[in-house]
Amino acid sequence: MKESPETLPLSRQAEFRARHFLETSGSNSGSRRLAKSRIAAKRETIQNGPSLHVIVPTLQCAHSCKYCQVSRSLEDMGHTMSLEDLDNTCATIFESPSKTLTVEFQGGDPLLRFDLVKHAILRIEALNSVEGRTLRFVVATTLHQLDDEMCSFFKAHKVFLSASVDGPAALHNKNRPTPTRNAYERTIAGVELARSTIGRDHVSALLTATKESLQQPEDIVDEYVRLGFRDIFLRPLSSYGFAKRNQSTLGYSMEAFTIFYQHALERVLHWNQEGVELREVYASIILNKILSSFDSGYVDLQSPTGAGQSVIVYNYDGYVYPSDEARMLAETGDLSLRLGRIGQSLEILQSSRVQRNLIDASMVDSVVGCKDCTYNLFCAPNPIDAQAQFGNPFAPVLQTEHCARHMWLFDFFFMKVRAADPWTLDLFHRWAAPVSGSDS
């Protein structure tokens, strides 16, 4: 909080001390102990070894989204993982000491190579009959290819689906053009098929907020409510995913995003007041940092970085990357974040020079700007974001989009919590409970 605590009424100061927003006096005070345990919890999610393993079996996709540099058309062969690399990937996953392993398939659209997804899931389960880890499978997909055979396999193997839903039909179809101009209709048909066959809670949605989306915050939230989703993640468009030359037509300012975010969040709160359960995921990440002692391990806010440590990406091109964003960067020609080749041991990959640099560049206690920042207990620099923006993971943190956005988010949510009535505060505490899952 930027406001001096002494300017607050005494009753409010006591309330904030009780919530550990303000420090109580004494070297062994509750707030200091809480701070230490939060730092330990933050590091624990990394010390447990990679728990999120992202496999990119193919870049093929039926969409041709303007902001996406990653996908390749259906006819574009040569962007698919070899079986040998896939088998090596499955073995490497178990080199992680993590008791819980989430394996997420990204693309392109992984369902265009369902054969590879199925092969990997069966192989990982076979290896796990000896390992005995807790497994969770997620497939991030447009759902356009989903059929009954896939659904029965996913049901039998408890697979979760993460679909792309950008909002109302007109917006979604504009954002995600396909030759048949019915991307929305096909995705929603897939959502309904998955819900009726695999299970209602086995399908979630993820949106990409384009310049068009910023004009429709309420409509987007209303569409998520209408479709019965329980989570909405209001993320800005990542600058990794589209060519820099398209930034003037596709990109937007931080201010434009924050205006959109505030309107959309108000709408989410409105629906909750009406009795509709809908959680905004970005809010829950920030509130988890502020209100909970148990860190949910959101990769972008870990120090040292969670990239390459709590998450690792095995790409179709035979290389291993520290995060989904890093492999997207590789598609734009920046190969500097490759950790090594699929088939190398996790130990070698994680001790690579690239990984050591990422760790050095993410140490919140020593990085200039972060070490004196009010929010350094909750936040951290993001060296991959810095690489994407400036071509250097050690670029000045205070000039990065990541810093500007999170500085704003922490300012905003500290003010929201401070002004919250009991009902809103109770909702915020429920949202702050740790969540696991994708970092992306």
**416 three-class SS:** helix
Stretch that binds ligand SF4, among 138-146, 181-189, 226-234, 397-405 (CB under 6 A): 397-405
Q: Give the closest residue to 105 by CA, choosing from 94, 97, 95, 93.
A: 93
Residue from the set 307, 370, 388, 427 that interacts with ligand SF4 by CB under 6 A = 370
Alpha-carbon distance of 138 to 131, in angstroms, equals 20
- Assign 3-class secondary structure to 201-228: HHEEEECCECCCHHHCHHHHHHHHHHCC
Verify binding: residue 376, ligand SF4, rule CB under 6 A: yes
Site string for ligand SF4, 20-59 (x = CB under 6 A): ----------------------------------------
Stretch that binds ligand SF4, among 18-26, 200-208, 270-278, 363-371 (CB under 6 A): 363-371
b/e burial code for range 200-214 (CB count within 10 A of at least 16 → b): eebbbbbbbbbeebb
Question: What are the C-alpha distances in Å from 293 to residues 21, 78, 281, 362, 412?
Answer: 12, 46, 18, 21, 20
Q: Kindly give, in sequence order, each residue whose CB lies less than 8 Å from that of residue 269, ignoring residues fewer than 6 positions away.
A: 424, 427
Return the bridge partners of 312, or none: 53
Task: Tell me the site size for ligand SF4, rule CB under 6 A.
Answer: 13
Alpha-carbon distance of 394 to 378, in angstroms, equals 20
Neighbours of 136 (CB within 10 A): 17
Residue from the set 138, 225, 234, 364 that interacts with ligand SF4 by CB under 6 A = 364
Which tokens hold the place of 240?
């990794």
Stretch that binds ligand SF4, among 22-30, 138-146, 164-172, 376-384 (CB under 6 A): 376-384
Nearer CB in complex with ligand SF4: 339/379: 379
Verify binding: residue 383, ligand SF4, rule CB under 6 A: no
Q: Kindly give, in sequence order, each residue whose CB lies less than 8 Å from that of residue 364, ignoring residues fewer than 6 positions away.
A: 303, 370, 371, 373, 376, 379, 380, 381
Stretch that binds ligand SF4, among 244-252, 291-299, 399-407, 411-419 (CB under 6 A): 399-407
Nearer CB in complex with ligand SF4: 128/357: 357
Verify binding: residue 397, ligand SF4, rule CB under 6 A: yes
Residue from the set 287, 290, 330, 379 that interacts with ligand SF4 by CB under 6 A = 379
Residue 103: CB minimum distance to ligand SF4, A: 30
Nearer CB in complex with ligand SF4: 162/387: 387
Residue 303: CB minimum distance to ligand SF4, A: 8
Return the bridge partners of 344, or none: 342
Verify binding: residue 151, ligand SF4, rule CB under 6 A: no
Verify binding: residue 384, ligand SF4, rule CB under 6 A: no
Nearer CB in complex with ligand SF4: 161/403: 403
Verify binding: residue 403, ligand SF4, rule CB under 6 A: yes
Interacting positions 407-426 with ligand SF4 (CB under 6 A): 407
**100 three-class SS:** strand
Q: Give the closest residue to 133 by CA, choosing from 158, 164, 155, 101.
A: 101
Residues in contact with ligand SF4 by the rule CB under 6 A: 364, 369-370, 373, 375-376, 379, 381, 397-398, 403, 406-407
